[in-house]
Amino acid sequence: MKSLPRYATYCLSAGLSAGFAASVPAFAAEPHLAPAITQIGKNLGQESPSTPLTLTAWLNLHNRADLDARVKDIYTPGSPNFHKWLTAADLKAYAPTPAEVAAVEAELKRNNLAVESVDAMNLSVRFSGRSSDVERAFGTQINRYTVKGELTRASTNLPQLSGAAAGLVHHLAGLNTLAPRTKAVYPVDPRTKKRLAGIPVSSGEANGLYFSSQCFNNPATVSEFGVNAVTPTEPELGTFSGLVYGTASSKAPAGSPPSCGYSPSEVQHFYGLDTAFGLGYTGSGETIMIVDAYQQPTALADLTTFSRIYGLPAITSSNFKVVNPYSANQPGSLYGTDEETDLDVEWAHATAPGANIVLVEAFSEDEEDMQAALLYAVNNKFGNVLSLSYGYQEFYSGPLALDIWSEVVEMGAAQGIAFNVSSGDDGDLSDYEGPGNTDVDAPSDSPYATAVGGTSIATTGSGGTGPTITTGWGTNIAFLAYKDSGAEYLYDPPVNEFYAGSGGGVSAYFPKPAYQSSLPGTKRLIPDVSALADPYTGAEFVYTDATSGDQYVGVIGGTSLAAPIFSGIWTIADEFSGKPLGQAAPYVATSVGSFINDVLPVAGPANVTAVLTNPTGTTDFSAEELAQPLFTTTQFTSALWNYEAGGVDLVSFGTDSSLTVTQGWDNVTGYGTPNIGTALLDMGAKPKQ
């Protein structure tokens, strides 16, 4: 067994690794507007003067450069301050003073704006009032924009207060409503775009028997005869050959496309958690903080059922708490975030079943509400690990907003809190910003966060006990044939599209942290680490249908799944260390081959090919042509799907937009995937007494 490098062994037994982030810059005031709003948005003119607004004024820190240097020192082994975490009292020295907060409050009130709250660290002042009063108070004009169909706002210049409050405000949050979104992705029927149906919990409880863990099956050849989908007068014959995806569940509704999904015990095996559990390390004595948007009334019931079905420790008032600091009163089911909450709490529990969970509910998923909830979690320090499955593009957020996200994360890192944040589900994000334009998600881009990317996992053997094949998550879909009203239609040529994939790339704003010093370029690279995220090789979870009130088991993925999985694993690392380890990314960068397994591209054993014949002749389509868009990807796996239902589709694995899996760090999987069992054994862990 390969041993850990001496440097990495020291880090996990004594704390984390060296070389934390370079100082995060205080961005210049001029580029305060989100580029997407002013460059590609349609300006609808000035906001109505009477429009009610609730916004947050973030105040400037004191001695930011000194704080950055101090945090860097805390994460440098050999430093006398290594892992000497700052306290809330220590951080107060960098926070705005009560006098500065009072000056801001007075200026807001002078302009008919009502102060709603001030956070415990004096970093932010939340207030409400009419748009015209906000404009007068901050010396700006607020315009309305539409960006890709979404309505948002931006100011025409840097908003600043006057009088004694002049120069105290760093950023005015809440105008930009291009909000963070959940990073959950579902397996869908390619043609209808409808997610695959869940299975009623009442159909029976048996570990791993809701959805099969057999995602790939022996190759097959299928022929379809019909007409061209584009020119229906032309007859068409198609022969398709290749690996077959999915296994039909006997409990799924009739006609459901075959799929697959892993249970907790199977995922635990993938990451060596079964070994850790056998040694007695389950996260006991630790707490995972999870921040989600809106209220989730069924979170407790769904988590309780999930735990019962899969034989996990029972949920009690001691190991699961919900905190609603801003009186969130709208259910997440209205906004599609309820199942995100289910996913987060269930898979944190599945990977660290002995840990406590504190769910912090933000008032909404808007920028200012999510930032406030994160800061609340940090200020109260319910635990040493925080999992966040929300994000949005740097391009849409702007440098000052990015600075606030990173400021909150840094406050956590200074106290030994590990922020594990989803890296995104849309690959290089070029679909959002146009060909040739790529982007990364905030706040996973913060040098103080650990950005968690995604993988696809295939098993051989039942119960997830056989060898596994892991590659980067990236899914393309090809439409080959379909049936409609008894008639058969074939696509000639086939139609291809990118569906989803692990987010990654280069930050446009943040400098490269020291723990990435061996990587190319000068900017922060994303992700750092990865875990299961592909919804087509996804994980089972329990959710409540908002309409019927019935509970279902479904399959889900996205880096929303990867983040709580890694958070559970890192919680066990904290437990083993006996003290908080803080941010994971620096350690991850030094421990490939022990705690971290490099992820490589995988070539399928029988990728799908096609032969199409029409009156003008016969055309052969290679596996590469069918699996487009491939960009620079040369190794991937593709499989036939759903051909027994009268249609033929292709689903690919390892095809993540322009991002590519390579040896070593890559922009799909980071440094690789964790195996906590291997790491513990390498360090000579004995059964916990």
CA gyration radius for the chain?
A: 25
Same domain, 534 and 428: yes
CB-side exposure of 423: number of CA atoms within 13 Å?
37
The DSSP secondary structure of 68-105, one letter per residue, reads: HHHHHHHTSTTSTTTT-PPPHHHHHTTSPPHHHHHHHH
- According to the model, what pLDDT value does residue 431 have? 73
The answer as to whether 124 is a domain residue is yes
Burial of residue 120 (CB within 10 Å: 0-12, 13-18, 19+) is: middle
Three-state secondary structure call for residue 241: strand
> 363 pLDDT exceeds 50?
yes
Question: Cα(689)–Cα(677) distance, rounded to whole angstroms?
Answer: 17
- According to the model, what pLDDT value does residue 46 have? 96
- According to the model, what pLDDT value does residue 398 have? 86
Q: Which two tokens stand for residue 239?
A: 């022969």
Same domain, 296 and 339: yes
The answer as to whether 556 is a domain residue is yes
Domain that holds residue 434: 210-604+638-682
Same domain, 247 and 285: yes
Q: Which two tokens stand for residue 56?
A: 């947050």
Same domain, 89 and 172: yes
Confidence of residue 486 (pLDDT cuts 50, 70, 90): confident
Q: Which two tokens stand for residue 460?
A: 């051989």
- According to the model, what pLDDT value does residue 4 have? 32
Same domain, 156 and 251: no
Confidence of residue 36 (pLDDT cuts 50, 70, 90): low
pLDDT digits (tens, 9 = 90+) for 543-586: 999 999 999 999 999 999 999 999 999 999 999 999 999 999 99
pLDDT digits (tens, 9 = 90+) for 368-385: 999 999 999 999 999 999
- According to the model, what pLDDT value does residue 25 have? 32
Question: Cα(87)–Cα(96) distance, rounded to whole angstroms?
Answer: 16
The answer as to whether 110 is a domain residue is yes
- According to the model, what pLDDT value does residue 467 have? 60
Same domain, 267 and 152: no
Three-state secondary structure call for residue 475: strand
Question: Cα(681)–Cα(117) distance, rounded to whole angstroms?
Answer: 49
From 456, 458, 459, select the one nearest 473 (Cα to Cα): 456
Q: Which two tokens stand for residue 345?
A: 């709490």
Burial of residue 18 (CB within 10 Å: 0-12, 13-18, 19+) is: buried
Average pLDDT over residues 36-49: 87
8 Å CB contact between 489 and 226:
yes
Residue type at 612 in one-letter notation: L
Question: Cα(103)–Cα(235) distance, rounded to whole angstroms?
Answer: 77
Of all residues in the chain, what percent are helix, strand and coil, respectively (each to 5)? 25, 30, 40
- According to the model, what pLDDT value does residue 213 have? 86
8 Å CB contact between 376 and 121:
no
**Domains of the chain: total:** 2
> 465 pLDDT exceeds 60?
no
Confidence of residue 463 (pLDDT cuts 50, 70, 90): very low
Same domain, 291 and 337: yes
Work out the mean pLDDT of the chain and round it to a whole number.
90
Question: Cα(513)–Cα(342) distance, rounded to whole angstroms?
Answer: 33
Average pLDDT over residues 44-62: 97
Q: Which two tokens stand for residue 531?
A: 């875990």
Question: Cα(87)–Cα(80) distance, rounded to whole angstroms?
Answer: 17
Strand locations in 502-603 (E): 505-511, 523-526, 529-532, 538-544, 551-556, 596-597
Q: What's the whole-model pTM score?
A: 0.94
Q: Which of 112-116, 176-180, 423-427, 565-569 has the lowest mean pLDDT?
A: 176-180
8 Å CB contact between 360 and 288:
no
8 Å CB contact between 561 and 343:
yes
Confidence of residue 433 (pLDDT cuts 50, 70, 90): low
- According to the model, what pLDDT value does residue 31 have? 43
Same domain, 169 and 216: no
Percentage of residues of the chain with pLDDT beyond 70 = 91
Same domain, 163 and 303: no
- According to the model, what pLDDT value does residue 2 have? 30
> 276 pLDDT exceeds 80?
yes
Burial of residue 214 (CB within 10 Å: 0-12, 13-18, 19+) is: middle
The answer as to whether 1 is a domain residue is no
Buried/exposed code over 193-212 (b: 16+ C-beta within 10 A; e: otherwise): eeebbbbbbeeeeeebbbbb
- 115-122: long-range contacts at Cβ-Cβ below 8 A with a sequence spacing of 24 or more? 116/54, 119/372, 119/375, 119/376, 119/379, 120/88, 120/379, 120/380, 121/88, 121/91, 121/92, 121/95, 121/375, 121/379, 121/411, 122/59, 122/92, 122/95, 122/96, 122/97, 122/98
Same domain, 336 and 465: yes
- According to the model, what pLDDT value does residue 237 have? 95
Confidence of residue 424 (pLDDT cuts 50, 70, 90): very high
Confidence of residue 1 (pLDDT cuts 50, 70, 90): very low
Same domain, 115 and 254: no
Q: Residue 6: count other Cβ atoms within 10 Å of its Cβ.
A: 8
From 252, 164, 166, 167, select the one nearest 212 (Cα to Cα): 252
Average pLDDT over residues 128-135: 98
- According to the model, what pLDDT value does residue 380 have? 97
- According to the model, what pLDDT value does residue 9 have? 35
- According to the model, what pLDDT value does residue 17 have? 33
Three-state secondary structure call for residue 43: strand
8 Å CB contact between 585 and 20:
no
Average pLDDT over residues 318-345: 97
Confidence of residue 464 (pLDDT cuts 50, 70, 90): very low
Average pLDDT over residues 354-374: 97
- According to the model, what pLDDT value does residue 643 have? 65
Question: Cα(401)–Cα(159) distance, rounded to whole angstroms?
Answer: 13
Question: Cα(107)–Cα(2) distance, rounded to whole angstroms?
Answer: 62
Question: Cα(547)–Cα(541) distance, rounded to whole angstroms?
Answer: 18
Residue type at 174 in one-letter notation: G
Q: What is the CATH number for 264? A: 3.40.50.200
> 499 pLDDT exceeds 60?
yes
Same domain, 269 and 387: yes
8 Å CB contact between 56 and 368:
yes
- According to the model, what pLDDT value does residue 147 have? 87
Helices (DSSP H) in 427-548: which residue ranges? 430-433
Percentage of residues of the chain with pLDDT beyond 90 = 78
Bridge partners for 358 per DSSP:
289, 321
* Residue position matching structure tokens 């723990």: 515
- According to the model, what pLDDT value does residue 35 have? 58
Provide CB contacts within 8 A for 547, sequence distance 6+: none
Q: Which of 263-277, 292-306, 461-475, 675-689 has the lowest mean pLDDT?
A: 461-475
